[in-house]
């Protein structure tokens, strides 16, 4: 299987090259030339397999350079009992007869990023070996909260790697920040940036295209790579859990083979929902893809009008991992829909130059056949947390609540009551203060004591990795202006 840049089909790479590079030189995203189809009996076969086995099966379709043995070792290490607190890895929880919640937060950092970031270091280091790369890879990450911790945890003490995470100083929750600044490992660095997530992400993109920096680092024995969701090694492991969720529903007799499902995904950078689109394209009977946004509703507008326009006010919300105005992975969808690298290149040039682009009517109509977008603000998010808790005795985090709001808006608007899977992207314990607020608790504890308070109020246990934060020391304090992110890189890679 070959991989191409979304902006230039002529640039072709093998899977290991694509994963090692992270991003094409022209700024495009490396993407499979075509999507493999699941063989006819695949869902039936996968139904009786473990999550790890499903992961091997699906990833093998995309990674012909990797042996089944290699992929099995990776899957067992990434999704084993040391990392995930349930053998199901990504369990599906039924709320009622046609509403399911796909829990993607049972990994070491309690957010869905673990699903991909526990796998990526294995894929990346193996890819580098296949490329006979001798330099040490330095992973640069811009995070809106969860990616950073997920990547730090995935790469900590992995040989021949360093990792440096940039997060927006005032754009992450207290617990998210504590999770990052207490990170252990000899090869890790964490630095906050004055500004919002887009400032951090744009800054990291600029570092990648900085030729002088590249040369300087090469002399020191390093090269840069990315763990952001633009890396194919991030998207691929995410396809697995949509296929797995469908198989679980088959196995448990909740669906018959071929029955349609809708999938609803709380969305930021468009990586997670893109994986659902790919699962659909491969043959999972997914009918509609419901894209849920918070007040940063650039995608909701795009899906309804065909115009992507990032020139708008940026809001800090209680679902900070979705506070994003440039959804990078949308570029991959545009390639899949248009099949025209030159058209995608044109849109991205406009986005860079003016902050907006408008897709052709043909492209808009094709996208609208598959996708529906909805958004909600913080008050609605809190109302939904309370309502789901009240109705089902089930506790969800603010990101997941945005998803449930979108699903109910969709159902009210269309009357479509097809079984729906809502991706649950974080443990509510990562966002205790806002969840307590939503549940009507006005007298909230300080610092980490909110973990116990939420546990007492709801009867749910505090996830072990969050409880452990109490005994950890802060290791990182550096803050930089976005123009000076390069200093942090050079400081770490002396
Ligand atoms: C990253 C993240 C999202 C957004 O996912 P994308 O792949 O960027 O669309 C949603 N919820 C949580 C909790 C996240 O960490």
| Cβ atoms 427, 438 nearer than 8 A | no
Establish whether residue 149 lines the binding site of ligand 1, counting it when its CB lies within 6 angstroms of any ligand atom.
no
Q: What secondary structure does DSSP assign to 119-176, as a single string?
A: THHHHHHHHHHHTT--SEEEEEEE-SSHHHHHHHHHHTT-TTEEEEEEEETTSS-HHH
- 200: phi then psi, degrees, rounded to nearest 5: -65, -45
In this structure, are residues 118 and 124 in contact, taking their beta carbons and an 8 Å threshold?
no
**Is position 130 annotated as part of the catalytic site?**
no
Q: What gap in Å lies between CA 194 and CA 430, rounded to an integer? A: 23
Q: Are 169 and 181 contacting, i.e. CB atoms less than 8 angstroms apart?
A: no
Ligand 1 nearest-atom number relative to CA 400: 11
User: Kind and range of the H or E element at 102?
Assistant: strand 99-103
Quote the pLDDT of residue 396: 98
Probe target for ligand 1 pocket from 105, 112, 330, with the most ligand atoms within 8 Å of CB: 112
Q: What's the token pair of residue 283?
A: 């043959």
Which residues in 188-314 belong to E strands, given as ranges?
188-193, 222-226, 261-266, 286-293, 307-309
Q: Give residue 107 CA to ligand 1 midpoint distance, Å.
A: 15
Q: What is the pLDDT of residue 159?
A: 87
Question: Can you give the C-alpha Rg of the chain in angstroms?
Answer: 21
Question: CA–CA separation, 304 vs 140, rounded Å?
Answer: 34
Closest CA to 281 of 20, 37, 4: 37
Whole-number pLDDT of residue 108? 95
C-alpha span between 477 and 469 (Å, rounded): 17
For ligand 1, is residue 297 a contact (CB within 6 Å)?
A: no
Q: Is the CB of 32 under 6 A from ligand 1?
A: no
Q: Which helix (H) or strand (E) holds 361?
A: helix 361-370
- Give me the tens of pLDDT residue by residue for the chain, a chain 494 residues long: 999 999 999 989 999 999 988 888 888 999 999 999 999 899 999 999 999 999 999 999 999 999 999 999 999 999 999 999 999 999 999 999 999 999 999 999 999 999 999 999 999 999 999 999 999 999 999 987 788 999 999 999 988 899 999 999 988 888 889 999 999 999 999 999 999 888 898 899 899 889 999 999 999 999 988 887 889 999 999 999 999 999 999 999 999 999 999 999 999 999 999 999 999 999 999 999 999 999 999 999 999 999 999 999 999 899 988 988 989 999 999 999 999 999 999 999 999 999 999 999 999 999 999 999 999 999 999 999 999 999 999 999 999 999 999 999 999 999 999 999 999 999 999 999 999 999 999 999 988 999 999 999 999 999 999 999 999 999 999 999 999 999 999 999 88
What distance in angstroms lies between residue 113's CA and the mean position of ligand 1's atoms? 7
Catalytic position from the list 113, 162, 205, 430 = 113
């Amino acid at each position: 299987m070959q991989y191409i840049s979304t902006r230039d089909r002529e640039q072709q790479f093998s899977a290991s090259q694509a994963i090692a590079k992270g991003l094409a030189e022209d700024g495009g995203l490396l993407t499979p030339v075509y999507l493999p189809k699941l063989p006819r009996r695949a869902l039936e076969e996968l139904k009786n397999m473990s999550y790890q086995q499903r992961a091997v099966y699906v990833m093998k379709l995309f990674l012909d350079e990797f042996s089944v043995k290699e992929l099995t070792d990776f899957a067992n290490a990434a999704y084993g009992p040391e990392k995930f607190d349930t053998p199901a890895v990504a369990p599906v929880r039924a709320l009622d007869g046609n509403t399911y919640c796909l829990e993607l937060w049972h990994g070491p950092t309690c957010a869905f990023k673990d699903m991909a970031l526990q796998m990526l270091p294995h894929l990346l280091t193996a890819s580098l070996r296949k490329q006979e790369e001798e330099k040490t890879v330095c992973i640069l990450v811009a995070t809106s909260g969860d990616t950073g911790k997920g990547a730090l945890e995935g790469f900590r003490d992995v040989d021949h790697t360093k990792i440096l995470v940039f997060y927006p100083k005032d754009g992450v929750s207290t617990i998210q920040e504590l999770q990052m600044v207490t990170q252990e490992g000899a090869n890790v660095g964490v630095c906050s940036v004055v500004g919002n997530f887009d400032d951090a992400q744009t800054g990291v993109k600029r570092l990648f295209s900085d030729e002088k920096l590249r040369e300087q680092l090469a002399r020191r024995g390093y090269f840069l790579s990315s763990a952001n969701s633009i890396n194919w090694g991030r998207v691929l492991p995410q396809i697995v859990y949509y296929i797995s969720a469908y198989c679980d529903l088959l196995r448990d007799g909740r669906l018959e083979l071929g029955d349609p499902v809708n999938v609803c995904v709380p969305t930021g950078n468009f990586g997670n929902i893109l994986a659902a689109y790919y699962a659909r394209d491969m043959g999972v009977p997914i009918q509609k893809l419901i894209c849920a946004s918070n007040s940063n509703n650039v995608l909701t507008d795009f899906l309804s009008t065909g115009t992507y326009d990032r020139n708008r006010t940026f809001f800090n919300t209680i679902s900070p991992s979705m506070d994003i105005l440039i959804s990078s992975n949308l570029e991959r969808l545009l390639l899949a829909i248009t099949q025209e690298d030159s058209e995608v290149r044109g849109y991205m040039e406009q986005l860079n130059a003016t902050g907006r682009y408008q897709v052709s009517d043909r492209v808009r109509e094709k996208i609208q056949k598959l996708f529906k977008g909805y958004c909600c603000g913080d008050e609605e998010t809190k109302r939904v947390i309370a309502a789901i808790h009240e109705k089902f005795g089930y506790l969800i985090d603010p990101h997941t609540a945005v998803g449930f709001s979108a699903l109910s808006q969709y159902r009210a608007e269309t009357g479509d009551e097809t079984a729906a899977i809502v991706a649950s992207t974080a443990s509510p314990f990562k966002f205790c203060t806002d969840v307590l607020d939503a549940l009507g608790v006005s007298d909230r504890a300080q610092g980490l004591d909110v973990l116990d308070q939420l546990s007492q109020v709801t009867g749910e246990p505090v996830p072990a990795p969050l409880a452990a934060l109490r005994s950890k020391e802060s290791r990182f304090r550096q803050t930089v202006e976005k123009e000076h992110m390069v200093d942090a890189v050079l400081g770490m890679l002396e």
